[in-house]
């Protein structure tokens, strides 16, 4: 537990308990780890806002606002113990379940029910409730049921002193059933900054924290909830905000961050932000490492990749989504141009950054055969390090969900499955079993021993600094899928399970069954981990010690030539690929023709 308070020895205490919930695995146990992989940015944002409210003494100068943060992915939540803590401090406070995604909503309500039974006030906010309110004509049953339990619902963002109002209402024991701020998205400049206490950060692998520089996205992807919750007009923090949060984190020994902006390349202030980080690194000797998310055209922005890597962006997540343009058009992701994929990935690689890409399985044109064909094309022709697979999922808050719901199409009623790792609807071409098998087969097809060797050899060409980090990331993905059965983004180190925390409605297992099985699986997985670690260490050693290390090349990393466009399967495996290549040739011919025209001929057109 991490906590903070406004002052010591105050007469009255109001406890604010901030909890980021996890969700259940297929056996009904919360997915928890001794160390989790991904920090929660919403928890960081809410902690920053609560700290600011405490400093301003919004409940009065005689009231101590005492803060507690929990991330359930790495901390067991014990409602009775938390309630006892609140009672011992005077009995006043509220529990905020924050950043709740659709797959986490059932767990959040189960926790809220236990807190309500202890007499505590409870609120739930996050993408599920915000997405439902943004896209559905009425509240869905699960939100109405939560309100019937006395749980307050918060939709929208909490900046601009909105959280102050919630805290004041809770202090007066007058929480409203619904706080809806979706129609009034706040600016971010000068707002309290996201930060997590070091004690909380230490529970993530690599002591990784998170922050956001901007929110919103201008694109229209039909599977996306961000555009409907955070808006399609981007809002940003400024360079002074950035410097303050970096210095505050540096002061507590935290310097590695996951930047949660959906698309940092569309941040209008990206250059000022990178320049400020570069100044701190090069003039003051401060070190920072970042993982950022960008689109597939970021390399077209002059100096973007150069300054990103110079600032410390050593890992990049790219929404590749698919290599079939017909699928991209179906999802309204028209900004992705497959003819730019290779050049973009090569440029990140040349500047020393590792690349990871999201890849969605289950678009209308997909079959198991086409999926596996496309993965082999990616392995052979694109210099990508990590590929993350997801089921095409109609998330509440997305256009896809809104459309299927309006048509009465079946969608799985269990929100716990809406984690992108489970099939929750049917496919037009594949049976349910075929689609699920295609998903499992995709992971197996990409993360083969031979391809892992190839990825490490590609990395070793550009020096040894980053190969250990890449090896660790590849290892993590391989282990989570093979041994833990969870998506790597939900993974961590040493799985924790607690017998009495099983999902309500599922039978509580006998301790004589639960504990021996848990111990056996933990030991079996530990052996599997050890063998896999040894194998990956051997792969890395081979890559580093290869006599032709610096001269290694293959189809994906070789300089791209005009001939490549004629014989690469990426452009010829689908009719959409052929059409994309034809458009590229046409556009290049037009540009070439324009460049050859005299200035006085093209000037009138420019006017």
Q: Where are the domains of the chain?
A: 2-180, 212-367+384-428, 447-573, 580-606
Dig out the tokens for 291 from the structure.
């993982």
- Cα separation of 19 and 453, whole Å? 40
Measured CA to CA, the distance from residue 422 to residue 80 in angstroms comes to 32
User: What are the backbone angles phi and psi of residue 340, rounded to the nearest 5°?
Assistant: -105, -10
- Please tell me the class of the 2-180 domain: alpha beta
Cα–Cα distance between 193 and 248 in angstroms, integer?
10
At residue 1, does pLDDT exceed 60? Answer: no
Question: Over the stretch 329-351, which tens digit does the pLDDT of each residue have?
Answer: 877 777 777 888 888 999 999 99
Give the confidence band of 586 by pLDDT, cuts at 50, 70, 90: confident
Confidence (pLDDT) at 509: 97
CA 70: distance to chain centroid? 19
Band (pLDDT 50/70/90 cuts) for residue 407 is: very high
Distance (Å, whole) CA 355 – CA 484: 24
Give the Cα separation of 447 and 453 in Å (integer): 10
2-180 and 212-367+384-428 share one CATH topology? no
Ranges assigned E (strand) in 90-163: 93-97, 121-125, 152-155
Determine contact, residues 175/152, Cβ cutoff 8 Å: yes
595 pLDDT more than 70: no
Bridge-based pairing of strands 235-236 and 214-215 is: antiparallel
Segment 124-151 shows an average pLDDT of 96
> What is the pLDDT at residue 596?
63
Q: How many CB atoms lie within 10 A of CB 150?
A: 13
3 state SS for 246-285: HHHHHHCCCCEEEECCCCHHHCCCHHHHHHHHHHHHHHHC
Report the pLDDT value the prediction gives residue 604, as an integer from 0 to 100: 37
Give the separation between CA 527 and CA 514, rounded to whole angstroms. 20
Ranges 243-252, 427-436, 462-471, 534-543: which has the least confidence: 462-471
Is residue 204 classed as helix, strand or coil in its secondary structure? strand
Q: Give per-residue pLDDT as tens, 161-201.
A: 999 999 999 999 999 999 999 999 999 988 999 999 988 89
Report residue 24: phi and psi, to 5°. -85, 150
Cα 537 to chain centroid distance, Å, stands at 28
Contacts of 95 (CB under 8 A, 6+ apart): 17, 19, 82, 112, 115, 120, 121, 122, 123
343-382: pLDDT as tens digits? 899 999 999 899 999 999 999 999 999 999 999 999 999 9
- Condensed to tens digits (0 to 9), the pLDDT of residues 504-536 reads 999 999 999 999 999 999 999 999 999 999 999
CA distance 604 to 607: 5
Quick one: 212-367+384-428 is in which CATH superfamily? Aldolase class I (3.20.20.70)
Rounded mean pLDDT, 473-494: 92
């Amino acid at each position: 537990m991490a906590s903070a308070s406004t002052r010591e020895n105050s007469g009255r205490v109001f406890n604010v308990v901030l909890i980021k919930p996890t969700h259940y695995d297929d056996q009904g146990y919360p997915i928890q780890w001794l160390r989790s992989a991904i920090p929660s940015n919403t928890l960081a944002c809410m902690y920053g806002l609560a700290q600011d409210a405490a400093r301003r003494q919004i409940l009065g100068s005689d009231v101590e606002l005492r803060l507690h943060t929990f991330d359930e992915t790495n901390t067991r939540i014990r409602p009775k113990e938390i309630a006892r803590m609140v009672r011992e401090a005077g009995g006043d406070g509220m529990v905020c379940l924050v950043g709740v995604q659709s797959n986490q909503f059932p767990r959040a309500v189960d926790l809220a029910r236990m807190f309500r039974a202890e007499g505590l006030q409870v609120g739930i906010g996050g993408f599920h409730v915000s997405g439902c309110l943004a896209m559905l004509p009425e509240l869905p049953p699960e939100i109405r049921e939560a309100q019937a339990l006395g749980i307050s619902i918060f939709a929208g963002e909490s900046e601009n002193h909105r959280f102050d109002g919630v805290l004041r209402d809770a202090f007066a024991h007058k929480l409203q059933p619904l706080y809806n701020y979706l129609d009034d998205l706040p600016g971010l400049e000068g707002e309290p900054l996201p930060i997590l206490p070091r004690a909380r950060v230490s529970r993530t692998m690599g002591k990784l924290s998170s922050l956001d520089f901007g929110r919103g996205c201008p694109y229209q992807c039909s599977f996306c909830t961000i555009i409907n919750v955070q808006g399609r007009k981007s809002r940003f923090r400024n360079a002074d905000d950035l410097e303050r949060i970096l210095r505050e984190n540096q002061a507590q020994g935290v310097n590695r961050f996951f930047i949660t902006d959906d698309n940092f390349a569309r941040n209008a202030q990206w250059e000022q932000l990178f320049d400020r980080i570069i100044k701190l690194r090069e003039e003051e000797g401060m070190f920072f490492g970042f993982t950022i998310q960008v689109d597939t055209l970021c390399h077209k922005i002059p100096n973007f990749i150069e300054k990103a890597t110079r600032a410390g962006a050593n890992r990049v997540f790219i929404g590749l989504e698919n290599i079939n343009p017909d699928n991209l058009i179906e999802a309204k992701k028209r900004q992705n141009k497959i003819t730019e994929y290779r050049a973009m990935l090569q440029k990140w690689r040349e500047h020393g950054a590792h690349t990871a890409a999201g890849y969605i399985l289950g678009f209308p044109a997909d079959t198991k055969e086409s999926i596996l064909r496309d993965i082999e094309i990616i392995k052979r022709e694109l210099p990508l390090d990590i590929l993350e697979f997801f089921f095409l999922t109609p998330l509440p808050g997305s256009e896809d969900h809104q459309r299927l719901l309006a048509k009465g199409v079946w969608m799985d009623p269990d929100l716990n499955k809406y984690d992108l790792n489970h099939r929750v609807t049917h496919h037009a071409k594949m049976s349910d079993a075929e689609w699920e098998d295609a998903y499992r087969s995709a992971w197996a097809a990409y993360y083969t021993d031979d391809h892992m060797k190839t990825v490490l050899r590609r990395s070793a060409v550009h020096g040894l600094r980053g190969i250990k980090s890449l090896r660790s990331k590849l290892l993590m993905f391989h282990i989570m899928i093979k041994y833990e059965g969870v998506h790597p983004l939900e993974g961590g180190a040493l799985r924790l399970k607690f017998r009495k925390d099983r999902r309500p409605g599922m039978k509580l297992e006998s301790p004589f069954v639960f504990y021996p099985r848990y111990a056996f699986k933990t030991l079996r997985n530990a052996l599997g981990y050890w063998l896999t670690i040894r194998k990956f260490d051997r792969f890395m050693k081979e890559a580093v010690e290869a006599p032709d290390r610096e001269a290694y090349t293959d189809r994906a990393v070789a300089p791209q030539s005009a001939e490549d466009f004629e014989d690469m399967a990426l452009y010829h495996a689908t009719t959409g690929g052929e059409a994309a290549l034809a458009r590229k040739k046409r556009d290049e011919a037009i540009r070439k023709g324009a460049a050859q025209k005299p200035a006085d001929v093209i000037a009138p057109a420019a006017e």
